[in-house]
């Protein structure tokens, strides 16, 4: 006899529902069951359930789940939804961490906005805002516009500076929550055509104890700091994310990842034995060069923390830079990759734009995107 899926109950998760847990309050399903939940998108409240949304396209996928662009049929609003199957304890813990950070970060302008979630047929659906591109996709589009990247700068320094400031601000906000991201890389940084930059994907984030992370969760090894790559790491702090940020900025500034591809042994050998990467001479300002040098200091004790980074001249110079014109030019160069290529209408909330993962990582992404799983 066929199963009537419409009769299966859905557990509704809203951003206000938390329970106490070790290392911080964790979000958890409430005891009540329901088919629907009400979420607020911009200034509009909508009732949402799996029966009143259509999948427009897949935005990204990875070992952790998939991200889809969906349309809420009654309102025409488009959303990004991360669909995760919590099939084992590790997946469940990762899901709870991801949701926990999203809930606690509501209102942070540099962290992707979370609207709400439901649980249905063993899958958890996290509803989030749509951004136009992940940074790994964006910088490749930018380089495709430059005839010769060896003589021309594909991404102007003010754009990189604004991206850097946005990410550092997001990481600093997480630090105030005693959270470390642990997976900073281009595919986990999002941008839209108004020039807004946001951090996403908190599934392997961790809680700090006495400012140190005690667990060695998996992440994207090419972007890991040296102290995390040692055989028996003794604990590390938020400065490991500073290293990852330095590699990310170096990659978008040069168009290439600085370490050997495909061979983890050769990469580790290069990280530990070779001098840290430096920007090509005479292409960027001394302030940017200094920023990269400080981020890619091998001894983590000598790297700056977030407060110190925010006080560096490179960040201060471009804190208010308007990068919307450049972002729009790059995104419009490949409209099929962006939100405006979709044919369905949408309401655009809170600095997100739409009308309808990563190099060296495990995630495949297309844009528009939101928090793409890895």
What are the structural domains of the chain? 5-131 (3.30.200.20), 133-329 (1.10.510.10)
Q: Say yes or no to pLDDT of 237 above 90.
A: no
Highest mean pLDDT range out of 33-37, 92-96, 233-237? Answer: 92-96
Q: Is the peptide bond before 73 cis (omega within 30 degrees of 0)?
A: no
- Output the average pLDDT for the chain: 79
Residue 337, pLDDT score: 62
Query: In the structure, what pLDDT confidence band is assigned to residue 214 with cuts at 50, 70 and 90?
Result: low
Q: Which residues are catalytic?
A: 183
The confidence score (pLDDT) of residue 204 equals 81
Write down the pLDDT at residue 211: 54
Confidence band of 88 (pLDDT split at 50, 70, 90): low
Question: 218 falls in which pLDDT band (50, 70, 90)?
Answer: low
Closest-CA residue to 55 (of 34, 28, 82): 82
State yes or no: pLDDT of 132 exceeds 50: yes
At residue 368 the predicted structure's pLDDT band, cuts being 50, 70 and 90, is very low
Residue 314: pLDDT band by 50, 70, 90 thresholds?
very high
pLDDT greater at residue 194 or residue 350: 194
Strand partners, 114: 128
At 201, list the tokens: 């994907």
Binding residues, by number, are 83
Say if residue 23's pLDDT is above 60: no
Q: Which is more confident, 292 or 60? A: 292
Tabulate helix, strand, coil % of the chain (nearest 5): 35, 20, 45
* pLDDT at res. 209: 60
| Per-residue pLDDT at 90 | 65
Do the beta carbons of residue 46 and residue 75 sit within 8 Å? yes
pLDDT at residue 365, rounded to an integer: 38
| Cα distance between residue 140 and residue 149, in whole Å | 11
Question: Can you tell me the distance from the alpha carbon of 345 to that of 270, in angstroms, rounded to the nearest whole number?
Answer: 49
Annotated binding residues for ATP, as ranges? 83
pLDDT, average across residues 28-50: 73
268-303 pLDDT per residue, tens: 889 888 999 999 999 999 999 999 999 999 999 999
Greater model confidence, 80 or 222: 80
Cβ–Cβ under 8 Å, residues 278 and 264? no
CB 218 within 8 A of CB 233: no
Is the pLDDT at 135 greater than 60, yes or no?
yes
Place of tokens 């090419």: 222
User: Of the given ranges (20-24, 165-169, 323-327), which has the lowest mean pLDDT?
Assistant: 20-24
| Predicted local confidence at residue 213, as pLDDT | 57
Q: Which of 67-71, 179-183, 196-200 has the highest mean pLDDT?
A: 196-200
Predicted confidence (pLDDT) at residue 53 exceeds the cutoff of 60: yes
Helix (H) / strand (E) element for 99: namely helix 89-104
Tell me if residue 150 falls in helix, strand or coil. Answer: coil
């Amino acid at each position: 006899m066929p199963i009537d899926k419409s009769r299966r109950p859905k557990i509704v998760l809203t951003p206000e529902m938390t329970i106490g847990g070790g290392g911080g309050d964790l979000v958890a399903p409430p005891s009540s069951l329901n088919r629907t939940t009400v979420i607020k998108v911009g200034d509009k409240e909508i009732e949402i359930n799996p029966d009143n949304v259509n999948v427009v396209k897949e935005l990204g996928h990875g070992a952790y789940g998939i991200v889809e662009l969906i349309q809420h049929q009654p309102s025409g609003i488009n959303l990004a939804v991360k669909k995760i199957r919590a099939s084992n304890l590790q997946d469940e813990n990762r899901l709870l961490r991801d949701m926990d950070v999203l809930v606690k970060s509501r209102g942070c302008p540099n962290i992707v906005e979370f609207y709400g979630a439901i649980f249905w047929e063993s899958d958890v659906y996290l509803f989030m805002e749509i951004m136009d591109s992940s940074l790994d996709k964006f910088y490749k589009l930018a380089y495709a516009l430059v005839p010769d990247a060896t003589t021309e700068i594909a991404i102007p320094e003010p754009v990189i500076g604004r991206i850097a400031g946005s990410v550092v601000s997001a990481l600093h906000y997480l630090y105030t929550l005693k959270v470390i991201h642990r997976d900073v890389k281009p595919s986990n940084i999002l941008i839209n055509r108004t020039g807004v930059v946001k951090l996403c994907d908190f599934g392997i984030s961790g809680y700090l104890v006495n400012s140190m992370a005690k667990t060695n969760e998996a992440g994207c090894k090419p972007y890991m700091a040296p102290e995390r790559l040692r055989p028996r790491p003794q604990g590390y702090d938020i400065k490991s994310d500073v290293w990852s940020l330095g590699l990310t900025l170096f990659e978008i500034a040069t168009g290439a990842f600085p370490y050997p591809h495909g061979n983890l042994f050769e990469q580790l050998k290069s990280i530990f034995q070779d001098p840290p990467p430096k920007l090509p001479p005479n292409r960027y300002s001394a302030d940017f060069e200094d920023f990269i040098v400080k981020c890619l200091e091998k001894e983590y004790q000598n790297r700056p923390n977030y407060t110190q980074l925010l006080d560096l001249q490179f960040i201060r110079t471009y804190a208010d830079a308007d990068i919307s014109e450049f972002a729009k030019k790059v995104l419009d160069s490949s409209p099929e990759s962006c939100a405006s290529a979709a044919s369905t209408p949408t309401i655009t909330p809170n600095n997100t734009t739409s009308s309808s993962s990563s190099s060296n990582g495990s995630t495949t992404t297309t844009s528009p995107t939101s928090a793409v799983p890895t």
